[in-house]
């Protein structure tokens, strides 16, 4: 089933070219099915890239997914045009009387700042508090995961000696938990971050369950008891060339950036990176939509509440 977005979203044409079914608002309004309503709080500077990455992940399911993109009102984006934001984005204050089946809070390149130093931290706190009563399950990504663990559970973060950058192996735990159903014992996923939530604090918190981690880069996937809050430290939604673009961008700026680990064949940045994480990424997002968003959301139909 399709992704439903606003008609002129630039990512729509790219997805259709990849043979992904994307439905416009007018057509979706005539469908006699219950769609999932997903809000995406997009904090990334290159918002159009993130839109495309996440819509790909949400498309691998038989469910119809209606997507609402949310931008931060208290922060002016420097890398996305105001016309794009005005046309395709709402703010939390536009939708706070609505209820969503799921929500995604993305990462942001502000991890070296303390949470309270971020200019839009109060608005992020407002969104996360609102999610407790208006969203069935919230998926937090990278900085969004660190922020969510800090806000909801008081888990601190720390700065790493060097940037975690590349594609790393992770071990799966608690394989009967539906979020990791269908996973192999180990799976690969991309990372790009300078900080980490403190794994010891996560493990000692009785409300949290670690589902995957890495000997090299620490905790990867964490959830609370009912799956209403899920935290993912990496970027399995990244496409093949995302780390390549970041690496070459930083090199061009003269920054001290290490080559991404386990990414280029023979560590040769002139060779096409190997895609080695897409299968588990698709499984993860499909499991989230199916088991924690769709099946967990009460639905009122003909006066009867079903699940």
Q: Is 96 a catalytic residue?
A: no
Residue 162 pLDDT class (50, 70, 90 cuts): very high
For the segment 275-299, the average pLDDT, to the nearest whole number, is 89
pTM: 0.88
Query: C-alpha 1: how far from its chain's center?
Result: 20
What's the half-sphere exposure (Cβ side, CA atoms, 13 Å) at 74?
Answer: 12
Choose, from 134, 191, 235, 280, the residue flagged as catalytic. Answer: 235
For every residue of 143-158, DSSP letters joined together read HHHHHHHHHHH---EE
Torsion angle of the four alpha carbons 142, 148, 153, 154, in this order, in degrees rounded to the nearest 10: 80
pLDDT digits (tens, 9 = 90+) for 128-155: 999 999 999 999 999 999 999 999 999 9
Q: Which tokens sit at 136?
A: 């069935």
- Residue at token pair 């109060």: 122
> What local confidence, expressed as pLDDT, does residue 1 receive?
47
What's the half-sphere exposure (Cβ side, CA atoms, 13 Å) at 38?
Answer: 29
Report the DSSP beta bridge partners of residue 41: 70, 105
Q: Is 125 a catalytic residue?
A: no
Q: Is 237 a catalytic residue?
A: yes
Choose, from 51, 134, 142, 191, the residue flagged as catalytic. Answer: 142
CB atoms within 10 A of CB 193: 22
Choose, from 111, 196, 237, 280, the residue flagged as catalytic. Answer: 237
CB atoms within 10 A of CB 273: 20
């Amino acid at each position: 089933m399709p992704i439903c977005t606003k008609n002129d979203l630039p990512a729509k044409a790219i997805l259709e070219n990849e043979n992904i079914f994307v439905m416009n608002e007018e057509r979706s309004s005539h469908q006699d099915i219950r769609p999932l309503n997903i809000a995406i709080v997009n904090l990334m500077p290159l918002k159009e890239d993130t839109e495309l990455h996440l819509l790909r992940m949400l498309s691998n399911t038989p469910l119809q997914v209606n997507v609402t993109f949310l931008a931060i009102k208290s922060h002016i984006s420097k890398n996305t045009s105001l016309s794009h934001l005005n046309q395709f984005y709402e703010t939390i204050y536009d939708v706070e009387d609505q209820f969503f089946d799921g929500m995604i809070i993305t990462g942001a390149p502000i991890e070296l700042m303390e949470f309270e130093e971020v200019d839009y931290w109060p608005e992020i706190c407002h969104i996360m508090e609102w999610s407790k009563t208006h969203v069935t399950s919230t998926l937090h990504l990278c900085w969004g995961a660190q922020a969510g663990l800090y806000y909801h559970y008081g888990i601190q973060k720390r700065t790493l000696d060097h940037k975690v950058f590349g594609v790393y192996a992770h071990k799966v735990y608690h394989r009967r938990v539906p979020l990791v159903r269908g996973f192999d014992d180990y799976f690969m996923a991309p990372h790009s971050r300078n900080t980490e939530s403190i794994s010891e604090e996560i493990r000692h918190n009785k409300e949290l369950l670690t589902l995957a981690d890495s000997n090299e880069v620490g905790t990867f996937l964490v959830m609370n008891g009912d799956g209403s809050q899920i935290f993912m430290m990496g970027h399995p939604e990244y496409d093949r060339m995302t780390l390549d673009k970041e690496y070459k961008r930083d090199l061009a700026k003269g920054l001290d950036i290490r080559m991404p680990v386990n990414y280029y064949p023979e560590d040769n940045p002139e060779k096409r990176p190997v895609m080695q994480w897409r299968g588990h990424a698709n499984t993860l997002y499909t499991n989230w939509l199916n088991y924690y968003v769709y099946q967990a959301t009460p639905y009122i139909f003909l006066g009867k509440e079903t699940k």
